[in-house]
Amino acid sequence: MKELYKYLTIMKQHSNQTCAMATVIEVEGSAYRHEGAKMLFLEDGRSFGLISGGCLEEDLQIRATDVMRLNRPETIVYDLQAEDDLGWGQGAGCNGKINVLLEPISWGEMDEYGNLIWPGVHEAFKMGENVITVREVVGHQIKNRFFFTTNGEIIGSSQPNHCSDLLRKDVVQFFQQNRIFDYQFHLELNTQYLFELHEAKDVIYIFGAGTDVEPVVKRLAEFDFLPVLIDPKESRCQPSVFPDATQYYPEHPETFLANHKLRDQSYVLIMTHSFERDQLILSYFLKHQPKYLGILGPKRRTERLLGSTFVPEWVHSPIGMEIDAEGAEEISLSILAELIKVRNEKRMLNKRRKKAQQIR
């Protein structure tokens, strides 16, 4: 889930307001969103995001007002299976039951040691770090909260103590097992904890700044990717042409690859329209495999780039989902769809794991 970073940015922009954060903490049956889905409510009545298809938001807005006023969290159970008004009042009939945690939250919130909580977490996101929160669960109440990097380091103003030291190993294991949301009982601490992975935006390196790249960059930015543009043409590789990119490198690919270390688990698109440049870039990434590598053009061209009819399975060629796309706009949609599919593999793995546990 990447929503926390976005909502912290909004909170920072409205640091004088108390807010309320809604988080889906349990789902039984089918639901519009999954565990970990979030929605933010501001004191001035504005809200951001959705956790249902419009069934719950009006009720949550009312409850969020009380949560902010009383400065007290609340856990709400919505039984969406009821087809009449005997459930929670809306008769949605959506075949699912969800538990939602509503908690007061503000940019100026401090921990028990008097330190600001959220600036350190927000800074970790900006640096490309994923963040894992671990929260103590007592009955239906969620209490103490810790923030970790994926390698078990405590983040920001959180103070290491006996509990956080014991939780480090669990945090690392949680991440290594590709989990994104899980309840775990800690035997030594004799307490149940809620582990949640919050992901930073995904960096995607795009080699090429042609006209066909413009809709790609625009759509990627809309869906929580951070596009980094690399192209030697200074007249194209700049904010006036690509306002939604986050970084611009008007350099030749070989210069960029020699002088810059790419972030781990990053995505790469090769769209230069130059056979020699594409060949050079592809040769580099065959030795430094990214999370995703897509090459514009037919598979036959990629085979020529490789000098072989064997194209590794992890190399996406031709680029994008097969939707019989035509033109730059449609191709950009097919590329975005494929990238989202790759990005959501962890979520699909967790859904299958949860389904298997329910069957047992």
Model pTM score: 0.73
Confidence of residue 80 (pLDDT cuts 50, 70, 90): confident
Edge to edge, what strands does the sheet with 315-316 contain? 247-249, 225-230, 202-207, 267-270, 292-295, 315-316
Using CA atoms of 233, 235, 240, 243 in order, give the dihedral in degrees to the nearest 10.
-10
Tell me how crowded residue 181 is: count the other CB atoms within 10 A of its CB.
22
Which residue would you say has higher pLDDT here, 243 or 263? 243
The Cα–Cα gap between 55 and 76 comes to: 14
Q: What is the DSSP letter of 91?
A: -
What pLDDT, in 10s, does the model give residues 225-241?
999 999 999 999 999 99
- Within 8 A by CB and 6+ apart from 265, the residues are 202, 290, 291
- Within 8 A by CB and 6+ apart from 342, the residues are 267, 291, 292
Confidence of residue 256 (pLDDT cuts 50, 70, 90): very high
Structure tokens at 23: 């988080």
Edge to edge, what strands does the sheet with 141-148 contain? 141-148, 131-138, 191-198, 181-186
Amino acid (one-letter) located at 160 = P
Contacts 24+ apart (CB under 8 A), 227-236: 228/203, 228/204, 230/205, 230/206, 230/256, 231/207, 231/272, 233/209, 236/209, 236/210
Q: What is the DSSP letter of 159?
A: P
Edge to edge, what strands does the sheet with 19-29 contain? 47-48, 38-42, 19-29, 96-105, 74-79
Average of per-residue pLDDT values in the chain? 87
Strand bridging mode 19-29 / 38-42: antiparallel
Count the helix, strand and coil residues of the chain and give each as a percent rounded to the nearest 5: 35, 25, 40
Amino acid (one-letter) located at 151 = N
What pLDDT, in 10s, does the model give residues 95-137?
678 889 999 999 998 877 778 889 989 988 887 889 999 988 8
Cβ burial, residue 308 (10 Å; 0-12/13-18/19+): exposed
Confidence of residue 70 (pLDDT cuts 50, 70, 90): very high
What pLDDT, in 10s, does the model give residues 183-215?
888 888 888 999 999 988 889 999 999 999 999
Which residue would you say has higher pLDDT here, 57 or 230? 230
Dihedral over Cα of 134, 139, 143, 144: its sign: negative
At 355 the pLDDT is 67
Mean per-residue pLDDT, 290-313: 92
Structure tokens at 230: 């690399």
